[in-house]
Structure 1
Amino acid sequence: MSTGFFDGIAPITFQGRDGTDPLAYRHYDPEEVVLGKRMEDHLRFAVAYWHSFAWEGGDPFGGQTFVRPWHPQDDMGRARMKADVAFEMFDLLGVPYFCWHDLDLRPEQGSFAANRDTLNEITDYLGEKMQGNKTQLLWGTANMFTDRRWMGGASTNPDPDVFAFAAATVKSCMDATHKLGGQNYVLWGGREGYETLLNTDMGAELDHMGRFLSMVVEYKHKIGFKGQILVEPKPQEPSKHQYDFDVATCIGFLRKYGLESEVKLNIEQGHAILAGHSFEHELALAVSEGMLGSIDMNRNDYQSGWDTDQFPNNVPEVALAYYHILKGGGFTQGGTNFDAKLRRQSIDAEDLIAAHVGGMDVCARGLKAAAAMIEDGGLDAALAERYAGWDTAEAKAMLDSDLATIAQRVEREGIAPQPRSGRQEILENYVNRFV
């Protein structure tokens, strides 16, 4: 039975690049084969439960602008209505996955036992809706940043009782994710950092965070969860400094605590920008270290210094992102989660559908451009030419040598290298041929 929220909106179909319907796919054809794989299987789109259904339109300077039938989100009847609307949208879009925080699904109850029980209740309801439905769970996670109990962190909190509450919360969320067949479990440490070093023991907090993540891995194996455990880098906001600052920091953290073979990364475009990087950089680094798990796709406003979580609309950026994903072998259990939200003035149900349609089309265009560049081989050829000198036996032997021996060779052979062009503009022009 329809909730009526999306009345008048038909299932979204592929109409091709000449289509003009704002509620139709122009580039995303799930059946189109790209590099030997269906587009849907490459992109593995997911809808974020929090921004699409739980967020009420507030920002740091203003309150609720969205008035939905399931507001206020304070009882289980409305939680079930929210789930009904969510699955109607999943069906309209034809997306294969969705993602959630526990607080998106059920109202805050105050006590752990009540939170667990209501999470289990809504998990059973979601499980019933997922039976025979195309849309399945990409990942679940725990919201350990909204309630005031988390103001000093979760696993890094100076109060051991908060650490215990966090451990119990994550266990319940992992159980729910496992029960629903989720393909990943994500930890995002929005409060795992500090506001000031004046009251922070950084070494102790990092050790506690490392032990907490080790417990997560141990529990994964105990319950037989086959999904990936992922951590999500972000440099700041809401904390002044978050310990999972960027990809490089996370990799160093995982290696320090011996978790690099058990945990991978969920990388968000907007978080990369806040860290002073490009999305392309963060993905390339993760791929080079074998640490890419999944992505959150969105964008920031480049004139704002905070995480605006807008839907993607920059095809060249997205193309370079998927170029590195494809070069790394593509997703296995991860996917493309739209961690993106409407603007506060986009208050209609149609806006929610149109935002996802546009985002999926941008990703599809980016994927096809990335695949075309890989098939053309121009970037690979340029890299091979630039580093060709390292293919010689003499160059390879130098890496096993020492400074004195190398210095003798430079003097003996009169080596006086001349600079060579990096050809950046030529390569940028090359990319623009495809995007």
Structure 2
Amino acid sequence: MNKYFPGIGRIEYRPDAGPDDTLVFRHYNAKETVHGRTMEEWLKFSVCYFNTFRYLGSDNHYGERTHQRSWEDGSRSLDNYKRRMMAAFEFFQKLHVKYYSVSDRDMAPEGENYDQTNTFLDEMVTLACDLQRQTGMKPLYYSADLFTHPRYMNGSGSNPDAHVFAYACAQVKRSMDAAKRLGAENFVFFNPRDGYQSVLQRQFFRDMSHMAQLYRMAAQYKDKIGFRGQLLIQPKPADPRRHQYESDAMSTMHMLRHFGLDKYYKLYIKPAFSRLMSRPYEHDVYMAAAYNMLGCVDASDSWPEFNGTSDICAQDMRDATLVMKCVLEQGGLQQGGFTLGGRVRRESTEPRDLFHGHIMAMDTFARALRNAARMISDGSFSRSIQQRYSSYKSGFGERVEMGNMTFDDCEDFVRKNGEPMHQSSRHEHYENMFNYYISPPRQ
């Protein structure tokens, strides 16, 4: 495969590369062992098909597409989708990754009716299967696009129209069939239209119960067809004009638990979305992990000049290290991995810019992996945290941990011991420690 990215070979690991050598990995060494596993095993990088090959530099407010690709004519013809897929697999192979992440509408266009749409999809899945056999690749996740078509303007699973609900379910069914054929390791639900713009128009519990029915049917169909992938949901707070029902990790987990679905699903977290909720970048990653619900992570940053409403290729070492610390502490992402979900800039018009952006993101998380491994291995952070919670190791605190306290017990303890002493959070101490690990180790 050397048609669409001529002059670019397979990206290699070169730790001695100079500042101008931006078509090599300086830090990502797939076979290097870190904290008991290879980088490739910890990170399981996947290229996001949508942001890499369907974003063409358009701007909703200020301009048309700027990315003119040799494989792309901008049409919805099947031939255009085939060229795009051929270019994508050449890119995957040269980037030296084993996974990609894709939806049904990334792969194939809508037809004139439901049957034609599925015929198009079947043909493109067959092509993808052939390319996978040639390259050894497969999807980290597959998903059904339940938001771009006008039929979903009022949502999919939560749509007030039962006809739209039925169409969404039928589309998920066909997508899960495709996911099985392609050997996808996960199936993602991504529902940015499922929410409300006005409390006057929607019945919240009814909407969420309908979404839960879709999720329940998906879990049942997964067993029926023998699909072994993990079901994932991505919380989505991005549209400022609409409040999503699954706006963050906690709201999504609460809905799943309320409807008895939490044992079937985990979460696909995009840390950059946390900032839209005025929370730290890593908030939802740690929250999902705390409940054993972290399944996959999107490795992208936000556009600071647009308040995080879009994605750029990951480059923030501090944020990435915080995420990797969480992932290492929970023992990895099992069937999940890291989706390279960033876009190149609108003004980055050369095809090689796609490589530059993805290499930067992969190197960022490779360095973050090493940082987190050092942090965990030497135990300093763990000892400091344990010291903060030392009052729970014995006596009254130990009984709290065991969960057998009453208000009367608490009152008796206060009467006996009086006012608690003020304890500093030592916030600056922890931040200072963290800075030590994100700096290069001393030789």
TM tier relative to shorter chain: over 0.9
The structure-2 alpha-carbon separation of the partners of 1:176 and 1:66, relative to structure 1 and needing over 3 Å to count, comes to same
Mapping of residues 34-433 of structure 1, within 5 Å: 34-61=34-61, 62-68=63-69, 69-237=71-239, 240-398=242-400, 399-411=403-415, 413-433=416-436
The answer to whether the 8 Å contact 2:302/2:310 transfers is yes
The answer to whether the 8 Å contact 1:17/1:27 transfers is no
The answer to whether the 8 Å contact 1:237/1:306 transfers is no
The answer to whether the 8 Å contact 1:156/1:208 transfers is yes
The answer to whether the 8 Å contact 2:17/2:24 transfers is no
| DSSP-derived class of the 2:300 partner | coil
Deviation at 1:194, TM superposition (A): 1.6
| DSSP-derived class of the 2:266 partner | strand
Deviation at 1:28, TM superposition (A): 0.4
User: AA paired with 2:23?
Assistant: L
Determine the C-alpha separation between the residues in 1 that align with 2:58 and 2:200.
31
Q: Larger deviation: 239-248 or 63-72? A: 63-72
Determine the C-alpha separation between the residues in 2 that align with 1:358 and 1:67.
22
The structure-2 alpha-carbon separation of the partners of 1:146 and 1:392, relative to structure 1 and needing over 3 Å to count, comes to same
Task: State the identity %.
Answer: 32
Determine the C-alpha separation between the residues in 1 that align with 2:242 and 2:413.
51
Determine the C-alpha separation between the residues in 2 that align with 1:405 and 1:268.
42
| DSSP-derived class of the 1:165 partner | helix
Deviation at 1:239, TM superposition (A): 5.2
Question: CA RMSD of the aligned region, Å?
Answer: 1.4
Deviation at 1:132, TM superposition (A): 4.2
Per-residue CA deviations over 1:204-238 (Å, capped at 9, x if unaligned) read 11111111111111111111111100000112417
Per-residue CA deviations over 1:379-421 (Å, capped at 9, x if unaligned) read 110111010110003322254232223322322x343221111
Determine the C-alpha separation between the residues in 2 that align with 1:193 and 1:214.
19
The answer to whether the 8 Å contact 1:73/1:107 transfers is no
User: AA paired with 2:46?
Assistant: A
| DSSP-derived class of the 1:299 partner | strand
> Gaps (5+ residues) in structure 2?
439-443
User: AA paired with 1:427?
Assistant: Y
Deviation at 1:275, TM superposition (A): 2.3
The answer to whether the 8 Å contact 1:231/1:264 transfers is yes
User: AA paired with 2:409?
Assistant: T
The answer to whether the 8 Å contact 1:266/1:295 transfers is yes
| DSSP-derived class of the 1:214 partner | helix
The answer to whether the 8 Å contact 2:285/2:294 transfers is yes
| DSSP-derived class of the 2:216 partner | helix
| DSSP-derived class of the 2:163 partner | helix
Per-residue CA deviations over 1:353-394 (Å, capped at 9, x if unaligned) read 110011100010111101110001111101110101100033
Determine the C-alpha separation between the residues in 2 that align with 1:285 and 1:17.
38
The answer to whether the 8 Å contact 2:192/2:237 transfers is no
| DSSP-derived class of the 2:370 partner | helix
User: AA paired with 1:12?
Assistant: I
User: AA paired with 2:41?
Assistant: D
Determine the C-alpha separation between the residues in 2 that align with 1:299 and 1:364.
15
Q: Larger deviation: 382-391 or 189-198? A: 189-198
User: AA paired with 2:136?
Assistant: K
| DSSP-derived class of the 1:383 partner | helix
Per-residue CA deviations over 1:153-181 (Å, capped at 9, x if unaligned) read 11111111111111111111111011000
1:2 aligns to what? 2
The answer to whether the 8 Å contact 2:271/2:285 transfers is no
Determine the C-alpha separation between the residues in 2 that align with 1:401 and 1:241.
39
Determine the C-alpha separation between the residues in 1 that align with 2:381 and 2:264.
32
Deviation at 1:110, TM superposition (A): 3.6
TM-score, length basis structure 1: 0.96
Deviation at 1:18, TM superposition (A): 4.5
Determine the C-alpha separation between the residues in 2 that align with 1:350 and 1:212.
41
Determine the C-alpha separation between the residues in 2 that align with 1:282 and 1:194.
22
The answer to whether the 8 Å contact 1:100/1:140 transfers is yes
The answer to whether the 8 Å contact 1:190/1:238 transfers is no
| DSSP-derived class of the 2:302 partner | coil
Q: Larger deviation: 186-195 or 73-82? A: 73-82
The answer to whether the 8 Å contact 2:273/2:308 transfers is no
The answer to whether the 8 Å contact 1:272/1:282 transfers is yes
User: AA paired with 2:179?
Assistant: T
The answer to whether the 8 Å contact 1:193/1:242 transfers is yes
| DSSP-derived class of the 1:274 partner | helix
Deviation at 1:108, TM superposition (A): 2.1
The answer to whether the 8 Å contact 1:193/1:239 transfers is no
2:441 aligns to what? none
User: AA paired with 1:213?
Assistant: Y
Deviation at 1:101, TM superposition (A): 1.3
Deviation at 1:274, TM superposition (A): 1.4
Deviation at 1:306, TM superposition (A): 4.4
The answer to whether the 8 Å contact 2:190/2:233 transfers is yes
Determine the C-alpha separation between the residues in 1 that align with 2:228 and 2:60.
39
The structure-2 alpha-carbon separation of the partners of 1:243 and 1:104, relative to structure 1 and needing over 3 Å to count, comes to same
| DSSP-derived class of the 1:434 partner | helix
Deviation at 1:345, TM superposition (A): 0.7
Deviation at 1:332, TM superposition (A): 0.7
